[in-house]
Amino acid sequence: MKLATKEEIEEIKRRLLEHYPAAETELHYRNAYELLVAIMLSAQCTDKRVNMITPALFEKYPDIPSLANADLDEVKALIKTCSFFNNKAKNLIKMAQMVMEEYGGEIPMDEKKLVKLPGVGQKTAHVFMIEYTHANLMAVDTHVFRVAHRLGLSDAKTVEGTEKDLVEKFKTDLNRIHQAMVLFGRYICTAKNPKCDTECFLTDLCKSRESFKAK
């Protein structure tokens, strides 16, 4: 598969930002605490499912101090319809405890500090900072990975390599491009039966369209 040219990359960027001028996460949250918890829950789980879980969770544990003192079995029960709920419940409580102990109960707005929190890897930290602080960062989830490869923006085999390629090629507006690529991949450039001929606005720039037409 051919990679996108510099001119094609600029056009992809322009169209993504034009079609998604105010793209943001579809996770429901009211503050930094709720956003970080929602992102942690969203790993290997849909945003729709997370949004069904969090209202009861946040009612029971409305802030970092209450979550830090939460009963593990109660947290598990509240998030049991989420994938990997056992590990996620443990990490949520440990995360809150560390935020209390190390950062005075305030979620740190620093990538290096965020990734030290239990259950928070680089992708989670980047997604959090992209949404909450509009940081010029890229995060690669399953949608971004798929879109990047179909458009010839990367041929890297790993998430880390794909992220590096996207950062190098787009350079600026990374937070907005991330949000746009997530929505584009979720609703148009879907894993199965992508909407190439009906809704896609990047068809002429796609490096994979022929493979879908052949199926």
- Cβ–Cβ < 8 Å for 34, 63: no
| CA max distance for the chain | 57
3-class DSSP state of 146:
helix
What DSSP assignment string belongs to 66-121? Answer: HHHT--HHHHHHHTTTSTTHHHHHHHHHHHHHHHHHHHTT-----HHHHTTSTT--
Query: Residue for token digits 């949000």?
Result: 179
Token pair for 186: 């979720």
The CA R_g of the chain, rounded to the nearest whole Å, is 19
Q: Which of 141, 155, 164, 173 is catalytic?
A: 141
Task: Please give the Cα distance from 48 to 50 (Å, whole number).
Answer: 5
Element spanning 154, H or E: none
Yes or no: say if 162 and 141 are a contact pair by the CB < 8 Å rule: no
Cα distance between residue 119 and residue 90, in whole Å: 9
Active site residue 213: no
Catalytic pick from 13, 123, 165, 169?
Answer: 123
Answer yes or no: 141 catalytic. Answer: yes
Q: Are 207 and 164 spatial neighbours (Cβ–Cβ below 8 Å)?
A: no
Active site residues: 123, 141
